[in-house]
Structure 1
Amino acid sequence: MVSEEFWVTRRDAGDAVVLQVSGVVDIITAPSLATHIDVALAGTPAVLVIDLTEVDFLSSAGITVLVEVHRLTENSPTSLRVAADGSATSRPLRIVGLDEFIDLYPTVDEALAGAPRGPELT
């Protein structure tokens, strides 16, 4: 069963691939997200941006997908960047410490630019 509140849209941006994720990423939808990521990585893009700015809920299953994609890309030519802003995405990713090894950005544009991030707010 696929959640009606979940979808992924792919957009090519030069040598980068942006996967815009919307809705709920949970135990039901996380495998679909993983499949979209695998397809994007098959083309070995220079940059893969996973855009979570339209995600309403990110479960531990979704976080696990991000950990796995980090593992797949850490020794590859693809730079993984995640756009996440807000309490549904950025906060849980920071709480579990993903921001220590995955580059998090507040917007897709900043992720594409690889712009330096500002100081952490506490």
Structure 2
Amino acid sequence: MPMQASSPTSTSPDLQGSAAVVALVGEVDGNTAVPVRRQVFGAFDDNPSAVVLDLTGVLFFGSTGIAVVLAAAQRALRLGVRFAVVADQRCVLRPLRVTGVIAQVDVHPDVDSALAAVSRPAHRIPAARTA
């Protein structure tokens, strides 16, 4: 009997202030790539100030998950939207660490800390003064 992949489920992007929070639940792998990408990238459609990707309900996080996180971070950068990931379990944190993605995106242990981080003003480097 073939194994059936669990389809990821997602809450509709939940608007918290001007930030969209997308919570994925289940497996994020090659079998769920299309719906996962649709759910994550759909969060950018309403022009939020930030997108928070909540992965605390994810049970398996494969290379598809890494690719989605990187693509979402790149889309956020292009659109000028803040982006953060929420993860608190080994099955998500380990792949993010091993691939170095954890150094490229903001990762937080809970939605509240992610929302606080994306609502802070971005750090700007002061322009050099010329004499």
Q: Which structure 1 segments of 5+ residues have no match?
A: 117-122
TM-score normalised according to structure 1 size = 0.86
Within a 5 Å distance, the mapping from 1:90-105 to structure 2 comes to 90-105=93-108
Write 1 or 2 for the structure with the bigger share of strand.
Answer: 1
Matched position secondary structure for 1:29: helix
Which structure is larger by alpha-carbon Rg, 1 or 2?
2
How many positions carry a matched residue from both structures?
115
Q: What's the CA shift for 1:29?
A: 0.8
Shift of 1:5: 4.4
Contact 1:47 1:79 in 2 (8 A): yes
**Identical residues among aligned pairs (%):** 31
Distance 1:3 1:77 in 2: 35
1:3 Cα deviation after fit: 4.2
Task: Specify whether residues 31 and 5 from structure 1 end up closer, same or farther in structure 2 by C-alpha distance, changes over 3 A only.
Answer: closer
Question: Which TM-score applies when normalising by structure 2?
Answer: 0.80
Q: Which runs of 4+ in 1 moved over 3 A?
A: 2-5
Which one has the bigger helix percentage?
2
Which residue of 2 is the match for residue 114 of structure 1? 117
> Residue type of the partner of 2:45?
A
Paired residue for 1:51?
Answer: 54
RMSD: 1.8
